[in-house]
Amino acid sequence: MRNNKSKIYLISLILLIVDQLVKLLIKSTFKLHEELELIPNFFSLHYLQNDGAAFSILQNKTYLLVIVAIICLGIMVYYIQKEKTFTKLSSISLGLILGGIIGNLLDRIIYKKVIDYLSFTFFTYNFPVFNIADVGITVGALLLIVSCLKEEQSSNN
């Protein structure tokens, strides 16, 4: 383990920049609800605006979601600053989560909605449309679980 705080913030910054640039590109290229199928019956770009959270829960609760995101950011930054060392995996996971939260928070503050555009279909199931920030949060959370399990396992040995 070593101090990877700068890596956490760098990863979050890279994710944030990519997320916001892609959202800007989608917003400037597509009309709202426009869809471009890239891989037939599997993947498309579909420009939507979501005023809720994941899977469109908490619709029309933008202010609540902004407050929750700010609280989560505060807790994460406090934790990152307080901890002395991080594993490589936990650094990556925290950076992805932090960047994803900030990306969607910016959307809520600027547009009052989150810009979503990644659409997948699995057989007949259309997965809810999402964005790169959502990927960062989800992958980061999964990696954080793996990191915690690995740390627990190594402390038991």
Q: Assess contact for 150 and 90: CB atoms under 8 A.
A: no
How many angstroms separate the CA atoms of 71 and 59, rounded? 19
How many angstroms separate the CA atoms of 9 and 43, rounded? 31
- The angle formed by the CA atoms of residues 132, 137 and 140, to the nearest 5 degrees, is 115
Residue type, 84: K
Cite the active site residues.
116, 134
Residue 22's alpha-carbon distances to 73, 114, 131, 132, in angstroms, are 22, 13, 9, 8
Nearest CA among 131, 134, 123, 135 for reference residue 47 = 131
